[in-house]
Structure 1
Amino acid sequence: MRSWQTAGPVAWEQRFQAMVTVVPYVLLAALAGLTVVLSPDFGLDLVLCAVAAVWNLVFFTVHPPWRRRPGIMAVFLTGLIVIGFVLAARHAWFGFYTPALYFFAFRIIGWPREVFYIAGVAVVAGTAQANGSDYGTWAGRLTWLAVVLANLVPMCLLAWLTQLGARYFAIREAALDESREANAQLATALADNAALQEKLLEQARAAGVLAERSRMAREIHDTLAQGLTGIVTQLQAADHAAGDPVAWRRHHQAATALARESLTEARRSVNELRPEPLETGRLADAVGEVAARWSARQGIPVQVTVTGDTRVMRPEAEVALLRTAQEALANVAKHAGDAGRVGLTLSYMDREVALDVRDDGPGFDPAARTGGFGLEAMRQRIEALSGTLQIESEVGGGTGISACLPAQLPEVPA
Structure 2
Amino acid sequence: MNDPFPLSPWERRFENAVEIVPYVTLAVSLVISLASPDQPPGGIARTLGLAALALAWIAGTRALLPAAVRRRRIHVTVHFLGVLATAALLTFHDPIFVIYCISGFFLAAHFAPSRWTFAAVATTSCILYGSTLDWSQATLQLIAFYLVIIAVQTIAIGGGSIAGLKIEERQRKYRKAASDLQTAMAENADLHAQLLAQAHQAGILDERQRMAREIHDTLAQGLTGIITQLRAAQRVEDSDAHIARALTLAQDSLTEARRSVSALQPHQLEDAHLPEAMTTLARGWSESTGVDLHVEVTGDRVPLSPAIEVTLFRVAQEALTNVAKHSGATRAGLTLSYTGPVVLLDIRDNGTGIHHPNSEGFGLSSMRQRVRGVGGSLEFETTPGEGTAVSATVPAIQGDRR
Question: TM tier, shorter chain?
Answer: 0.5 to 0.7
Give the CA deviation at 1:79: 0.2
The aligned counterpart of 1:76 is: 79
Residues in 2 aligned to 1:67 and 1:48: alpha-carbon distance in whole angstroms:
24
Residues in 1 aligned to 2:370 and 2:56: alpha-carbon distance in whole angstroms:
93
CA deviations on 1:332-381 (whole Å, 9 max, x unpaired) are 566579xxxxxxxxxxx9996799xxxxxxxx98458778xxxx9xx999
Residues in 2 aligned to 1:325 and 1:6: alpha-carbon distance in whole angstroms:
65
Residues 1:322 and 2:267 aligned together:
yes
The aligned counterpart of 1:271 is: 255
What amino acid maps onto 1:36 in structure 2? L
The aligned counterpart of 1:59 is: 61
Output aligned runs, 1:289-328, within 5 Å: 316=263, 319-322=264-267, 324-325=269-270
Residues 1:205 and 2:189 aligned together:
no
Residues in 1 aligned to 2:216 and 2:53: alpha-carbon distance in whole angstroms:
99
What amino acid maps onto 1:40 in structure 2? Q
**2:147 counterpart SS class:** helix
CA deviations on 1:364-400 (whole Å, 9 max, x unpaired) are 98458778xxxx9xx9999677599xxxxxxxxxxxx
Residues in 1 aligned to 2:92 and 2:148: alpha-carbon distance in whole angstroms:
16
- Summarize the Cα distance change of 1:350–1:208 in structure 2 as closer, same or farther, 3 Å threshold: closer
**2:80 counterpart SS class:** helix
Give the CA deviation at 1:146: 3.8
Residues 1:262 and 2:246 aligned together:
yes
- Summarize the Cα distance change of 1:13–1:366 in structure 2 as closer, same or farther, 3 Å threshold: same
Output aligned runs, 1:211-250, within 5 Å: 211-215=213-217, 216-221=219-224, 223-234=225-236
The aligned counterpart of 2:354 is: none
Select which of 143, 147, 150 maps to 1:148.
150
Residues 1:30 and 2:31 aligned together:
no
- Summarize the Cα distance change of 1:381–1:159 in structure 2 as closer, same or farther, 3 Å threshold: closer
The aligned counterpart of 2:120 is: 117
**What stretches of structure 1 of length at least 5 have no aligned partner?**
235-250, 279-314, 338-348, 356-363, 389-403, 409-414
What amino acid maps onto 2:63 in structure 1? T
Residues in 2 aligned to 1:135 and 1:19: alpha-carbon distance in whole angstroms:
37
- Aligned-pair Cα RMSD in Å: 4.9
Residues in 2 aligned to 1:139 and 1:387: alpha-carbon distance in whole angstroms:
92
Output aligned runs, 1:381-400, within 5 Å: 386=374
- Identity rate of aligned residues, in percent? 16
Residues in 2 aligned to 1:351 and 1:28: alpha-carbon distance in whole angstroms:
94
The aligned counterpart of 1:19 is: 17
Residues in 2 aligned to 1:381 and 1:30: alpha-carbon distance in whole angstroms:
89
Residues in 1 aligned to 2:4 and 2:209: alpha-carbon distance in whole angstroms:
60
Tell me, yes or no, if the aligned pair for 2:21 and 2:106 is still in contact at 8 Å.
no
**1:320 counterpart SS class:** coil
CA deviations on 1:33-87 (whole Å, 9 max, x unpaired) are 1112234133323322222222212222232423222222211111001111233
- Summarize the Cα distance change of 1:274–1:17 in structure 2 as closer, same or farther, 3 Å threshold: same
Tell me, yes or no, if the aligned pair for 2:222 and 2:249 is still in contact at 8 Å.
no
- Summarize the Cα distance change of 1:229–1:106 in structure 2 as closer, same or farther, 3 Å threshold: same
- Summarize the Cα distance change of 1:261–1:74 in structure 2 as closer, same or farther, 3 Å threshold: same
Select which of 94, 97, 100 maps to 1:97.
100
The aligned counterpart of 1:46 is: 48
Tell me, yes or no, if the aligned pair for 2:5 and 2:172 is still in contact at 8 Å.
no
Aligned length: 308
Tell me, yes or no, if the aligned pair for 1:111 and 1:163 is still in contact at 8 Å.
no
Residues in 1 aligned to 2:94 and 2:148: alpha-carbon distance in whole angstroms:
19
Moved more, 63-72 or 155-164: 155-164
**1:212 counterpart SS class:** helix
Residues in 2 aligned to 1:103 and 1:82: alpha-carbon distance in whole angstroms:
16
What amino acid maps onto 2:258 in structure 1? R
Give the CA deviation at 1:210: 4.1
The aligned counterpart of 2:136 is: 134
- Summarize the Cα distance change of 1:405–1:110 in structure 2 as closer, same or farther, 3 Å threshold: closer
Tell me, yes or no, if the aligned pair for 2:30 and 2:97 is still in contact at 8 Å.
no
- Summarize the Cα distance change of 1:22–1:156 in structure 2 as closer, same or farther, 3 Å threshold: closer
Residues in 1 aligned to 2:60 and 2:4: alpha-carbon distance in whole angstroms:
22
**1:118 counterpart SS class:** helix
The aligned counterpart of 1:342 is: none
The aligned counterpart of 1:394 is: none
CA deviations on 1:304-336 (whole Å, 9 max, x unpaired) are xxxxxxxxxxx75xx115354597767656657
Residues in 2 aligned to 1:40 and 1:273: alpha-carbon distance in whole angstroms:
116
Tell me, yes or no, if the aligned pair for 1:133 and 1:144 is still in contact at 8 Å.
no
The aligned counterpart of 2:295 is: none
Tell me, yes or no, if the aligned pair for 1:81 and 1:124 is still in contact at 8 Å.
yes
Tell me, yes or no, if the aligned pair for 1:134 and 1:141 is still in contact at 8 Å.
no
CA deviations on 1:109-160 (whole Å, 9 max, x unpaired) are 66233332222212233235x5345366545544443443343232233244
Give the CA deviation at 1:205: 3.4
Give the CA deviation at 1:7: 8.0
What amino acid maps onto 1:113 in structure 2? W
The aligned counterpart of 1:340 is: none
What amino acid maps onto 1:49 in structure 2? A
**2:158 counterpart SS class:** helix
Residues in 2 aligned to 1:169 and 1:273: alpha-carbon distance in whole angstroms:
66
